[in-house]
Amino acid sequence: MSADTIEVLITLPLPEDTLAPLRELAPRVNLTVHPARRPEDAPDELWKKIEVLYTDRVLPPPENVPNLRWLQFHSAGIDFALDSPLLQKDGLKVTTLSGAAAPAAAEFCLTVLLALAHHLPDLFAAQARSEWPRERWERLVPHELRGSTVGIVGYGSIGRELARLLGPLGATILAAKHDAMHPEDDGYFAEGLGDPHGNLFARLYPFQAVRSMLKLCDFCVIATPLTPQTRGMIGQEEIAAMKPGAHLVVVGRGGVVDETALLGALQDKHLAGAALDVFAEEPLAPTSPLWKAPNLIVTPHIAGLSAHYNQRAVALFAANLRRYLTGAPLYNQFDPSRGY
């Protein structure tokens, strides 16, 4: 290898057939796949020479990786790693896989929105009791997405793809994002997906005005990362501001929504239903009252699961690696001031 060879280490056991886009990039890229769960699972000699690290949670001490210039995570959320000394390494670029899980997560959101709108939790409960629901013509009238207002809090890759899916169904989209002055998407997105130019919503709100948006929504989806700004952002006052009979869906990260306030809003029927895929503490304790909350769909943080995730992840990493080779700005670069 020449002196300007870029040493790339992947610590995940990615299938060889998914790695072709990386191996075909450039002769000066030397790709090593060394599965590891802990830093000590890879030899010191390997850590010392790598320039680019692709990993999930294997974060060596900064002194062990003197040549590391870029850390690419295998996930969109990296709140688990924010206290790692490695992220404090001078000059280190840190990027996430925001966008790789967006197609699956957006489909999940659409699935539970339709399930709530058409009373599937009630219908499944009746089926478990072998019960033909009484007064079904009154009790089970759906709240159709067509003609409804759907709010999306966190207009990132998931929110933008959900907006694209909702458009043909005839829903009005409201959105809220960290920087409402820039509606365009400056992160990674696959061609044909999402809302790269910010054209699919009727109105865009800053996070500071999210309560005003919630008052207008028949359905609301929370898809923000967990940051100091978003932690507890949807609290008791925000939930109380929602329209009576509205529905709430929460993906992304737990800790953004006040679960106690949400439980109360379901119990007193202020909200007609909700779906939670993420929780402040995971796994959700068997004793949590959320398991038995009325009209609540509970799922175990699986919204982004996909059989195609590794392929999409490698495609994103390859796109970023091409930019790294040419000195272009990287997609999804972590900004400590924003927390994501």
Known catalytic residues are 253, 282, 301
What phi, psi does 143 have (nearest 5°)?
A: -105, 90
**How far apart, in whole angstroms, are the C-alpha atoms of residue 292 and residue 266?**
11
Q: Is residue 173 helix, strand or coil?
A: strand
H/E element, 33: strand 29-33
Count of residues in the chain: 340
Residues 261, 242 contacting (CB under 8 angstroms): no
Sign, Cα dihedral of 82, 327, 42, 67: negative
**How far apart, in whole angstroms, are the C-alpha atoms of residue 272 and residue 31?**
52
CA 102, 160, 177, 110: dihedral to nearest 10 degrees? Answer: -70
**CB contact burial 197-224 (16+ within 10 A = b; e otherwise):** ebebbeebbebeebbebbebbbbbbbbb
What phi, psi does 172 have (nearest 5°)?
A: -90, 130
| Alpha-carbon distance values, 323 to 210, 327, 329 (Å) | 35, 6, 7
Question: Which tokens belong to 231?
Answer: 């932690």
Question: Which tokens belong to 211?
Answer: 């309560």
Residues 276, 241 contacting (CB under 8 angstroms): no
Question: Which tokens belong to 317?
Answer: 């990493």
